[in-house]
Amino acid sequence: MASQPSRNISFVSHTDMNGHADGVQIMVHRGYAYVGHGFSNGITTLDVRDAKNPKVVDFIACPPGTRALHLQTHDDLLLAVNAPSVWHMQQFQTDKAYFGGSWAEQMKATGNQFTPGIRVYDISKPDKPTEIGFMPVEGVGPHRLWYVGGRYAYASIHFHDFTDHILAIIDMADPRKPHVVGRCWIPGMWRGGGETPAWASNRRYALHHALVAGDLAFGAWRDGGLTVIDIADKAKPRIIAHRNTDPPFGGGTHSPLPLPDRNLLVVADEPSTNNCADGLRYIWVYDIRAPHNPVSIATMPMPAEDDYCAKGGFFGAHNMHENRPGSFQSSELIFATFYNAGVRVFNIANQFQPREVGFYVPPNPAKMMDPRPNRPQVVQSADCFVDKNGLMYVTDPNAGLNIVQFNGA
């Protein structure tokens, strides 16, 4: 492979995952990688024990019209969302339709068929996940999960009586029969309870996902901003703080990363237009010593070695490596995908002055997996998982999986 723009990160290998090159979230567990797809509507399992030669060993197809773009692993369990394959639906052929308002109205009486819910797989045999449970959802269904073992999982789910995705706490005591025990939302979202939104119809208040630290869940609500949620009582979670940088910085609050040992929270806002048409989106650092009053203290520097706004596609943060048990864990190094600027590593040893210490920009895709018309054929790095040895597994919605090595700062 030709040399790519990089600093402190070196190329190891690439795979198109047997033609399923559209990767979204990736988990690496016991030498195997599990990839949720955005367009291929399934889950790929790869043997990555030899990182230089990743091999596809299994593919799980979703029900018709359904995708499993987000998933989580812990011990012998794999949890995966089943959600509508929206990019194949006529009403979601543009970014504006996807990001620009509640899905509930757009999906009424469309005739689209899908099977929403959360599936549970046994991965005691890691090369062959076996389904053992399914939690159906009445409504649009789930988007993303957080599960690191224990009794509870946390999901963003769009139930039929809400305007969009909210927080659902799921009891996993019996993984064959997961069920919702608690819910939390921004007031105005529960249309079934007579609530009406106070925000404009072209703003999308929807929980992308929440990460948990102790008795607190940190939620990213797209145009709805950031919340801190007290989850001590799983049946009655409650919002104790709500911050929104839109306006003036635009919406798209997407990925939270609590760093509890330092009382810090990192939050990434996602771009939602090509060529920076609606301005830049940032990664924020919050001081959360007082969880009821999170205070923004810094932003990560924006990549500047190229004109990424002119490159095409999205430019800005998407997902961050989540410091999961068994993976690379650090409260100083932050790994974030940056769409057309590849994957970035930031050092926040001084939380007031974050600095970039590494990056890798993969090649543009050889062909497009995206079924939507007129999509720019540029790299759009989506997710990054970092193992204990600094191997970085970076997905792309069109360009497959790149495995690269972080060589330190």
Sign of CA dihedral 264, 142, 254, 347: positive
Residue whose entry in the numeric block shows the structure tokens 């109205």: 105
Alpha-carbon distance of 330 to 350, in angstroms, equals 14
Find the farthest-apart pair of alpha carbons in the chain and give their distance in angstroms, rounded.
58
DSSP string, 22-46: -EEEEEEETTEEEEEESSS-EEEEE
* Residue at token pair 């291929």: 40
Contact between 33 and 401 under an 8 Å Cβ cutoff? The reply is yes
Query: Are 272 and 314 a contacting pair, CB within 8 Å?
Result: yes
Give the whole-angstrom CA distance, residue 361 versus residue 399. Answer: 12
Please give the sequence-ordered ranges of beta strands (E in DSSP) within 214-260, or none if there are none: 216-222, 226-230, 238-243, 253-259
| Its pTM surpasses 0.85 | yes
The set of residues, in sequence order, having a beta carbon less than 8 Å from that of 224 and lying 6+ positions away, is 186, 199, 203, 204, 205, 206, 207, 244, 251, 253
CB 405 within 8 A of CB 12: yes
The per-residue pLDDT string of the chain (409 residues; one tens digit each, 9 = 90 and over) reads 557 999 999 999 999 999 999 999 999 999 999 999 999 999 999 999 999 999 999 999 999 999 999 999 999 999 999 999 987 776 676 777 677 776 666 665 566 789 999 999 999 999 999 999 999 999 999 999 999 999 999 999 999 999 999 999 999 999 999 999 999 999 999 999 999 999 999 999 999 999 999 999 999 999 999 999 999 999 999 999 999 999 999 999 999 999 999 999 999 999 999 999 999 999 999 999 999 999 999 999 999 999 999 999 999 999 999 999 999 999 999 999 999 999 999 999 999 999 999 999 999 999 999 999 999 999 999 999 999 999 999 999 999 999 999 998 6
